[in-house]
Amino acid sequence: MDNEIVQFSALTVVLLLVIFYGGTFLISTRIGKKKENADDYMTAGNKIGFGISAASMTATWIWASSMYASATSGYTYGISGPIHYGLWGALMILFIYPFGKRIRKVAPRAHTLAEVMHARHGRSSQLMLAGSNIVGSVISLMSNFIAGGVLISMLSPFNFIQGVLAVASGVLLYTLWSGFRASVLTDFLQVVAMLGAVAIIVPVIFFAAGFPAAFETGASNLTPQQSNFFSSEAFLGQGAPYIAAVLAYAIGNQTIAQRLFAVREDLIKPTFITATVGYGAMVIGVGMLGVLALYLGFEPSGGDMNNLIPEMAASYLPGVLLALFFIMIIGALSSTADSDLAALSSIMMADVYGQNVAGKDKADPKKMLLIGRATMVVATALAVAFASMQLNILDLLVFVGALWGALVFPVLASFYWKKVTNKAFTVSVLVALAIFIPVRFELIPINGITGFLIELLAVIGIGVVLALMSFGFFGLRVAKIVGVVAILGSAPFAFGFLRDYTTLSASLVAYSVSTIVCYLMSFRSKMEFDFDVIAIRTGDFDVVEAQAETAEAGRDAQSLGGK
């Protein structure tokens, strides 16, 4: 391929970054308060409307890593790769909402899922869930900063580290001011810009690269599996592990939970359905650029898949559209990075300080705000340091999702089943992680009796994943039937086969082990937990401020009534 890669001048890149981050900062200052409310800083008062919440959910789920990883999947697995990435990711947003309705019912004014686990079980379960989210959000921040660093270094004279620092500083600038409120409001503008950019940029690159002729002349570049829309290799290598990983993301991720607690309770269903459609359309569309690159025989520099999308854009887009592409990727990574910062700050504010250091009744809202803002600064510094390692984004996403798989059943069971105990929750997660890690990194031999046992657990994991998906929509009876049928149906094909797909096997093992241990430790439990106490044990920290706002609203209403 002989296309010349377009580059911006240093001044142009600086101007684009100043326009984008300066604009988002100005927006965040307009919604700031002289006397900031700690609860609003975390969840915006639990009353965000449909348009903002749907856009924010879409923007949070669509990050630069989603676009890069979808294209990597297309480049690696062929025409079905982006479908397996984008479709399953979109459906997992849909699967959240029935569980989300239950979570909001029992904890209408909570700030984090871990806070609810504290009310349901106690400290160890809370800190386990909070700790996993801290790890996940720092990794997410890191991968978005990597994407930004790659983009800026590719399209300008600046190097990778300078690009990472520019993006990190820009995101921190506007998020630090108003926390979660800044995140959701800027998400709305960012997702509108991203949708418009994708609708223009993807078709332009396709036609500039010689579409549709390129798909005829380049067919020889594909293996039989890559050219097969129903590729088993694509499903087992990308689709199936991603189904397991994204279900775990949906249930365990604080960035999603934060939006669940922020949206008006009656708007949960339309919000998540809209986000499902928006995510799927955008991510699958961008992922097709990876398929195009495969047909063209395009080789990303250094063999680094993180370079694929920026190099395709720089090779085929004129300067004006390349600037639009630049803003699109910066917007995508910023919309998720600010969500990670808001999530991390709320965890430190509500879970660490609010529940464990000071105690809910004695927590100082002003100190909480200070802790939240300090958390954002420290998290940004850590993510910048880790970003210098330039790890593979797709591998990071699947690993974190699989890691969270150990939490899915214990967390969901804790919202529905009165018998789940703190000990059952904690032990089941720890045992699942103790088995997942050696399987994922092949620290134990996956052959003979060991291989058989791992595959047995993985087969049970298939049943668990499909049963959980069914349970949210159709209830326990259907979920049990689906789970049993899935196990019996997959068993004849799985043994002697799944051991060749380590990532998939490890993900499924995390689900099955945590489910088995949690169930066995709970079903004979004498606990009869009263879910009504969760609403009492969770809620506003800044009670004085909340009461003042309510009183002011009442005076305004009286004044209007008098007129």
3-state secondary structure of 418: coil
For 204, other C-beta atoms within 10 Å of its C-beta total 16
Q: How far is CA 57 from the centre of its chain?
A: 10
**CA–CA gap between residue 154 and residue 499 (Å, rounded):** 39
Q: How much is the pTM?
A: 0.83
Tell me the C-alpha distance between 401 and 499, whole Å: 19
Phi, psi of 48 (to 5 degrees): -75, 140
**pLDDT tens figures, 131-167:** 888 888 888 888 889 888 988 998 899 999 999 999 9
* CA–CA separation, 30 and 178 (whole Å): 9
Task: Give the whole-angstrom CA distance, residue 99 versus residue 115.
Answer: 17
Cβ-contact 56, 369 below 8 angstroms: no
Domains and CATH numbers, the chain: 13-391 (1.20.1730.10), 393-543 (no CATH)
**pLDDT computed for residue 187 by the predictor:** 82
Per-residue pLDDT of the chain (563 residues; tens, 9 = 90+): 445 566 789 999 999 999 999 988 887 777 655 566 778 878 877 888 888 888 888 888 887 667 888 899 999 999 899 998 888 888 888 888 889 899 999 999 888 988 999 999 988 888 888 888 888 888 888 888 988 898 899 889 999 999 999 999 999 988 887 788 778 877 877 788 778 878 889 899 999 988 888 888 888 889 899 888 888 888 888 788 777 777 777 777 788 888 888 898 888 889 999 999 988 888 898 899 999 999 999 988 888 887 888 888 888 998 899 998 898 888 888 888 999 999 999 999 988 888 778 777 787 888 988 999 999 999 999 999 888 876 666 566 656 666 678 889 999 999 999 999 999 999 999 999 999 989 888 888 888 899 999 999 999 999 999 999 899 889 999 999 999 999 999 999 888 888 888 888 888 999 999 999 999 999 989 899 999 999 988 878 776 444 444 444 344 434 434 44
Measured N-to-C along each axis, helices 123-155 and 240-252 cross at an angle, to the nearest 10 degrees, of 120
Q: What is the 3-state secondary structure (H, E, C) of 46-110?
A: HCECHHHHHHHHHHHHCCHHHHHHHHHHHHHHCCCHHHHHHHHHHHHHHHHHHHHHHHHHHCCCC
Q: Are 457 and 508 in contact (CB under 8 A)?
A: yes
- Helix, strand, coil in percent for the chain, rounding step 5: 80, 0, 20
